[in-house]
A and B are shown apart, each in its own frame.
Chain A
Amino acid sequence: MTPNPPRSHAPIFWGLFGAGGMLSALFGPMLVLITGVLVPLGLLLPPDYMSYPRMLAFAQNWIGKEFLFFVISLFAWHAAHRIFYSLHDVGVHAGPVARLLCYGAALVVTLVVGGSLLAIGW
């Protein structure tokens, strides 16, 4: 046996899948309800709840920045991993191209969110 067998990178993607899955299971339904239904309709929360100055202040705050970065990017990595492993079930060959498209999309989301949050500043 070789002393240092090549290590698989699979646990990293499995870990991101698990973290994103847990985060979206705990907070996904309420986040969608707040940002997509309650605030736009002005139900329970005021319609100007997500106004530009408020969201800018939220994104400039350290806690708000980290919340946005981890929620959005982990949701993306969770979905990418799950969609990639479901491709075979719907008759699509899960080859290198599919892998690049799935994980590449999650990487694009991560870079766009990270870059935007850096541009917004502190």
Chain B
Amino acid sequence: MRKPYVRPMTRWWRRDPYFVRYMWREATALAVAAYAVVLTVGVWRLAQGQAAFDGWLQALRSWPSIVFHLVLLAAMVIHAVSWFEIMPKTMPMLFVDGERVPAATITRAGLVTAVAAALALFALAWMLKP
């Protein structure tokens, strides 16, 4: 019997730069998950008292943690940018004066909002300084 040809599907996404972007975008979920776990451990240790929480703070100050968070930061930026890039496709169609709002306008508005939100959060953190 002839052996049928099966097109290999391993690393299929390498065939097209569009798919590579898609995979990067989806992979940012790993960073979001990792950061949620880091914060979950922090809140859990906080409930256990000072000694436990100080251990978590100490771990955050280690170099592996700093490098890890820089990687998370890069992934979060990719997530934020790609989130607003695909928003014109994921949200309902938007019309102003009977004209459909162009995708680029929606993306730009989203990115401006994200930068404003980040700056506002930093300003709030700054005001809460001891």
Contact = CB atoms under 8 A, between A and B. Distances in A.
A21 B38 CA distance: 18
Interface of B: 9-10, 13, 23, 26-27, 29-30, 32-33, 35-40, 42-44, 46-47, 50, 53-54, 57, 60-61, 65-66, 68-70, 72-73, 76-77, 79-80, 83-84, 90, 110, 113-114, 117-118, 121-122, 125-126, 129-130
Interface in A100-121: 105, 109, 112-113, 115-117, 119-120
Contacts of B83: 21-22, 25
* Chain A interface mostly: helix
B37 A109 contact: yes
B39 A79 contact: no
Contacts of A27: 117-118, 121
A68 B65 CA distance: 21
Contact of B46 (A32, A55, A91): A55
A76 to B, nearest CB: 4
B60 A117 contact: no
27 contacts: A21-B79, A22-B83, A26-B114, A26-B117, A26-B118, A28-B32, A28-B35, A28-B79, A29-B76, A29-B77, A29-B80, A35-B60, A36-B60, A36-B66, A37-B73, A45-B129, A47-B61, A68-B43, A73-B36, A80-B33, A82-B26, A105-B33, A112-B44, A113-B43, A116-B43, A116-B47, A120-B46
Contacts of B122: 30, 34
Nearest to B119: A30
B29 A72 contact: no
Given A34-B125, A117-B43, A75 B32 contact: yes
Nearest to A42: B61
Interface of A: 18, 20-22, 24-37, 39-41, 44-52, 54-56, 59, 68, 71-73, 75-76, 78-80, 82-83, 86, 89, 91, 105, 109, 112-113, 115-117, 119-120
A48 to B, nearest CB: 7
A-B pairs with lowest CB-CB distance, top 9: A36-B69, A79-B33, A82-B29, A116-B47, A26-B117, A25-B83, A75-B36, A30-B118, A28-B76
Nearest to A36: B69
B29 A79 contact: yes
